[in-house]
Structure 1
């Protein structure tokens, strides 16, 4: 990872409805990425794409639409883990000399029936076993998981609300977020329930949007361009063969190794972006990564997250910014990159030198099978 540098990121404003196509949004994110990175389309010789609604097109079709002649391509279908997964492969490609400039794109546009069709036919297991039970919907599965998490840690709904409210406070400074209006803990507790104990603020809003990041070989960076070094990256898939309780992910296996390889201590992180399709999974990841110590979830949520004393998901996360399909897997990386490059606008942290980004997702039967994380550092 000594040769690859992340030096640009872009995100189109997330919207609830649009007449644009998935291809158009991905192209828009790519165009903004080139401008941010100081490159021309002809410079890009590697492309990775994550999308649920680009079908029947794939990465190579997108390359043609963008007019790219590439030496490296990647189609990624890992959902919430796609961003870190693509990043890992792109780093390897640059290290091996397979490409000099790689653009990674992710995005989706869901029509009225697209998301329902995706949820009901997410994979063969969902179609065969879950749909007949009437629970081919992630809200039901993660409501059950939240109940289990509440019992295990002695938490109440207000504790999960602290995360939702804390992230909404960050979203208020993000012009790309769908939900920016103030949200109080009282608002959260009074909100309509979706699947007990989840309310509408516990479930990511489905939106349209696209994200992109740009990696280049260190010797090919535009002159004077700020850049980010990937200090460490690790993944663990099919952690428990779907036989565990869902309250632990593969991040627990890789956590200590990740920090050791990065040469970074947890307290040296300036911001953390964890995949937040539901508050419970954000908390599980924070525990698995060792960022929150056992027995300290309640104090962490109320004394640090709600009080704005811990930079968690500074974009507002998907809970407030929205989940643009596969773009959700790249959302955290985009935000971390913008912060480390000093391009986060009104929400820019005064100190943003090191960040951790995690990915999670791809529910097979009961829980997500994929977990990965990367530690990023502003290059001096």
Structure 2
């Protein structure tokens, strides 16, 4: 038995202990539905496929198919080897169920997708972690990878069929609100500034941009709200209200929204309902300062308790970041559609070229394909430039009632449509296997709420926490077919500022900085106003902005005020 008090371990409860402790008997147990016999993981009190509540643990064979793997070089965790091979294994009894795990007794060179894998257990304190190794009896040919329970194209079609026709919507709530002001704080790496100070700076700039005063603001909306550590917020509505004393008639703050931009969609709904006239939406990150303070031991997080929630199913195996999930997704995308690292590289190079024209971008130096391919590995196949740039910044947007448009300082931006639909499984390792999860639903939903089509879009500001995110949104929104991004990118020509789909014209999160989608919204507003300076795309009248991924996501279609 190994004891490692600092090692990340799951919180064992009466409802999941059958999984974490069955290894003591040398067996693997997962839930099974008594009605439809589907396996269920992570454990739930109901079968998500038939909604029967008779779900009980059963012993499975412990064999499965290697569904994905990534060699993690960057995210070291106590008690785990470095590098670590994080993987997903589809169970033989029901390949729809995948277990996030760690591979042992093998090297990367010995692995291939579709291999047969066998469970083994590692005892750490009071849990038995199910690890996997290549099975001794490998078939002559690797097994085909299991198909998604809801393939990408079927997910989009499901949304189209189940959404009401546009002709039946009448007046849409989108018509009742405008984006009247936008502001950005100082942005940079390790600014060593109070994150609330960044929020106040951005909010003051946005309110002034709209030609309003703080006394005009009667609503506040943010993502993810208070209670988030690790540099992902300043304290939410509570902190900002305590600082500015706005006393709003309506407020909102939370993480379970249609992406970080969900705060803006919520504000639009509040304005449409008459709960507020001018809502101040804000998003602040200060991760680079936070991490530096941790390194200097000037900041401490209390406690070293067990991990609960979704992260409890992955972090004990080394899956501590969204990078570990999306890296395996990228691997499967390459495997199925013939794309390569260069395919993702064109996205990184495009964002850097645009950032060179943006004086507020964190990284503006030229980037070549050789630079991209030669950069240090983060977690295979992702290298350094596949990942967005942690930074300190705040972005604020004012959402106003549409009937105030004539009183505003500048012409506002109109919202043509939003997309918010959840169509895919929410658990990271049970969802869409070849694209970023949670993009197909909102993308398809968007086009059911407008008569405009992808060909009408002049600029696209698409979430790029990783290069794969951007590629997924391009395909989900219909700018090319599923699996066709390699040809669509055409060596980066089609996404350049003079291409058919100018993409992330301010540098995106890959070069401008990780502002969790709100920087993309800011850039869309600036482009639609014609205020982007040397990076302005001429004739911009329609912009699409996506927000989030893996978690529930959202997308907005914006147009210039006529």
Q: TM-score, normalised by structure 1?
A: 0.89
Residue from 99, 105, 126 that aligns with 2:282: 105
| Distance across 2 between alignment mates of 1:96 and 1:219 | 13
State the shift of 1:254 in Å: 4.2
The separation in 1 between residues aligned to 2:359 and 2:540, in whole angstroms, is 20
| Structure 1 pair 183–3 and aligned structure 2 pair: CA distance change class (3 A) | same
| 2:426 maps to 1:207 | no
SS in 2 for 1:282: helix
Runs (4 or more) in structure 1 with deviation over 4 Å come to 53-56, 113-117, 120-123
Does 1:7 pair with 2:180? yes
Please tell me whether residue 246 in structure 1 is matched to residue 437 in structure 2. no
Higher relative contact order (CA 8 A, sep 6+): 1
1:258 lines up with 2:450 in the alignment: no
Q: Distance in 2 between matches of 1:317 and 1:374?
A: 16
Kindly indicate whether the alpha-carbon contact (under 8 Å) linking 1:4 and 1:215 is maintained by their aligned counterparts in 2. Answer: yes
Residue segments in structure 1 that go unaligned for 5+ positions in a row: 362-367
Q: Matched residue pairs, number?
A: 369
CA drift at 1:376? 0.7
Residues 269 and 98 (structure 1), Cα distance of their counterparts in 2 relative to 1, 3 Å cut: same
Structure 2 partner of 1:87? 264
Measured after TM superposition, the shift of residue 328 of structure 1 is: 1.2
SS across alignment from 2:516: helix
Counterpart CA distance in 2 for 1:143 and 1:257 is: 26
State the partner residue of 2:502.
Answer: 311
CA deviations on 1:56-91 (whole Å, 9 max, x unpaired) are 8330331221231210111132588121x1121111
Structure 2 counterpart of 1:75: 253
- Relative distance call for 1:123 and 1:283 in structure 2 (3 A) is farther
The reply to whether residue 176 of structure 1 matches residue 176 of structure 2 is no
Deviation string, structure 1 residues 290-314 (Cα, Å, up to 9, x no partner)? 1122353112221412685131111
Aligned residues of 1:80 and 1:275 also touching (Cα < 8 A): no
Secondary structure in 2 matching 1:112: helix
Structure 2 unaligned blocks of 5 or more: 1-173, 296-300
Q: Provide the rounded CA distance (Å) in 1 between the counterparts of 2:313 and 2:506.
A: 36
Does 2:315 match 1:131? yes
Report if the CA contact (8 A) 2:284-2:395 is conserved. Answer: yes
Q: C-alpha separation between the residues in 1 aligned to 2:557 and 2:245?
A: 33
Q: TM-score, normalising length from structure 2?
A: 0.62
Q: Distance in 1 between matches of 2:534 and 2:216?
A: 31
Secondary structure at the residue paired with 1:150? helix
Secondary structure of the corresponding residue to residue 284 of structure 2: strand
For residue 357 of structure 2, give the secondary structure of its aligned residue in structure 1: coil
Distance 2:476 2:240 in 1: 36
Deviation at 1:187, TM superposition (A): 1.2
Q: In the alignment, is the contact (CA less than 8 A) between 1:237 and 1:369 conserved in 2?
A: no
2:516 matches 1:328: yes
Counterpart in 2 of 1:364? none
Does structure 2 retain, via aligned residues, the 8 Å contact 1:162–1:306? Answer: no
Change (3 A) 1:98 1:22: same
1:294/1:171 Cα in 2 relative to 1: closer, same or farther (>3 Å)? Answer: same
Structure 1 vs Structure 2 CA RMSD: 2.6
Larger Rg: 2
Question: How far apart, in 2, do the equivalents of 1:185 and 1:351 lie?
Answer: 30
Quote the residue 1:64 is aligned against: 242
Judging by fraction of residues, say which structure has more helix. 1
> Residue 79 and residue 192 in structure 1: after superposition, are their counterparts in 2 closer, same or farther (change >3 A)?
farther
Q: CA offset at residue 144 of structure 1?
A: 1.5
CA contact (8 A) 1:356 1:376 kept: yes
Q: 1:55 to 1:357 in 2, by over 3 A?
A: closer
